[in-house]
Amino acid sequence: MNRVEGVIFDWAGTTVDFGCFAPVNVFVDIFKNEGIDVTMEEAREPMGMLKIDHIRAMLSMPRIAALWEEKNGRSFNEQDVNDLYADFEPALMASLADYTDPIPGVIETVEALRKQGLKIGSTTGYTATMMDVVVPNALKKGYDPDCYVTADDTNGLGRPYPYMIYRNMEQLTLSAPWKVVKVGDTVSDIQEGVNAGVWSVGVVIGSSKMGLSLDEYQTLTQSEQEAIIAKTTSIFKGKGADFTIRTMRELPELIDTINQLILEGHRPHSMEH
């Protein structure tokens, strides 16, 4: 059967938590506790990675690394990463349940994809413990993928490694990477899809990359919305996304397009951008 068999979604910023706010605020807070002011942009830059890797990536940013050194008289080390993560996890867990609302259009889209006979998988930058909060809360609100995989299932190797996608393929019996579509809202989601050899799709509105709440987005003028959509789209394309969609509602039609491309012999990342 030469067609898409399954779709693998990211969680926060893609299917739940419009704008991906749950972790961002906590990243800002844990650095503030150390006397270092980080910007929202810096806190979002590594988004989508496993959270401990995200903290390490932030500490490695030249500006933050310099501030850390100035404050502590030495470069950061692994112990610092672990200490910051020890502050991060309980703070995130405390608020996580509040950030599990499905993003508009997601529930209907998943229903439409299932009607097309597709399986629904998922990967995340959250740990298994965090997902113990997210999954049942999202389920209560109507979002229920067939399976989810965290880096706890892949020896701690999260994005941009492709292993969480492969584990989804195994659990859902998807027969080849080119019959799989990965949808996410961050650069590391796109890279995960590219590295796995699947069709890699960036969703723009509500994405962490866009970084706006639903209210903030809706108060923009149409031309401001168009500008930020264009900017986010070009970042995803620049990182190797095969396609971008504005919202999840465009996905069923995109799957039809990908099925046509597969029939014509195209494979992921073979298309000219």
- Condensed to tens digits (0 to 9), the pLDDT of residues 92-139 reads 999 999 999 999 999 999 999 999 999 999 999 999 999 999 999 999
The burial class, CB within 10 Å (0-12 / 13-18 / 19+), for 72 is middle
Q: How many domains does the chain have?
A: 2
pLDDT of 272 > 80? The answer is no
The CATH number assigned to the domain holding 84 equals: 1.10.150.240
Asked if residue 270 belongs to a domain, the reply is no
Q: What's this model's pTM, rounded to 2 decimal places? A: 0.96
Q: 33, 22, 21, 78: which is closest to 55 by C-alpha?
A: 78
* Angstrom distance (rounded) from CA 188 to CA 10: 10
Measure the CA dihedral 146/53/16/145, to 10°: 0
Domain end among 73, 98, 123: 98
Q: Which of the residues are catalytic?
A: 10, 51
Residue list, annotated binding site for Mg(2+) = 10, 12, 185
Q: Given this model, what pLDDT does residue 271 score?
A: 64
Q: pLDDT band at 273, cuts 50/70/90?
A: very low
* Angstrom distance (rounded) from CA 179 to CA 165: 12
Residue list, annotated binding site = 10, 12, 185
Domain end among 98, 131, 159: 98
Residues in the chain: 273
Q: Given this model, what pLDDT does residue 1 score?
A: 78
Q: Which long-range contacts (CB under 8 A, 24 or more apart) does 167-175 make?
A: 168/6, 168/8, 168/121, 168/122, 168/123, 169/6, 169/121, 171/121, 171/146, 171/147, 172/5, 172/6, 172/119, 172/121, 172/146, 172/147, 174/5, 174/6, 174/119, 174/121, 175/5
Q: Given this model, what pLDDT does residue 185 score?
A: 98
Asked if residue 269 belongs to a domain, the reply is no
Residue 176: domain span: 6-20+101-263
Mean pLDDT of 159-181: 98
pLDDT of 75 > 60? The answer is yes
Say if CB 126 and CB 12 are below 8 A apart.
yes
Q: 124 and 171: one domain?
A: yes
Q: In the predicted model, what is the mean pLDDT of the chain?
A: 97
The CATH number assigned to the domain holding 119 equals: 3.40.50.1000
% of the chain with per-residue pLDDT over 70: 99
178-209 residue pLDDT tens: 999 999 999 999 999 999 999 999 999 999 99
* Angstrom distance (rounded) from CA 3 to CA 179: 6
Mean pLDDT of 11-19: 97
Domain end among 50, 75, 98: 98
225-262 residue pLDDT tens: 999 999 999 999 999 999 999 999 999 999 999 999 99
Asked if residue 268 belongs to a domain, the reply is no
Q: 179, 183, 173, 177: which is closest to 246 by C-alpha?
A: 183
